[in-house]
């Protein structure tokens, strides 16, 4: 298995890693793909390891999910 660490890859290899992992999502969303893909810029440019990019995204998602839980689920009618 090829290493995905910044020290073991070139910028072009990191771009390819992201492209292959994300796939072609242009046809699957309503224009959000540039925003989603831009979260990987720090990895592609060699500023931040991929695991940290994913960790930051997951942390923001969990935080947003916690806020949703406090408000209740609209599907069940809870408030």
Residue with tokens 């931040």: 48
Lookup: tokens for 63: 């935080």
Q: Of 74 and 25, which is predicted with more confidence? A: 25
Domain positions in the chain are 6-71
Residues 16-64 pLDDT 10s: 999 888 875 555 555 555 567 788 999 999 999 999 999 988 887 776 5
- CB-CB neighbours of 67 under 10 Å: 9
What does the pLDDT read at residue 40? 93
User: CB neighbours of 14 closer than 8 A, spacing ≥ 6?
Assistant: 4, 6, 43, 44, 46, 50
Q: What distance in Å separates the CA atoms of residue 66 and residue 28, rounded to the nearest whole number?
A: 27
pTM to 2 decimals?
0.65
């Amino acid at each position: 298995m090829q290493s995905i660490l910044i020290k073991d890859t070139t910028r072009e290899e990191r771009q390819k890693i992201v492209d292959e992992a994300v796939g072609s999502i242009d046809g699957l969303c309503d224009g959000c793909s540039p925003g989603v893909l831009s979260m990987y810029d720090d990895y592609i440019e060699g500023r931040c390891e991929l695991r940290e990019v994913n960790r930051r995204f997951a942390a923001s998602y969990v935080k947003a999910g916690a806020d949703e839980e406090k408000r209740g689920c609209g599907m069940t009618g809870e408030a």
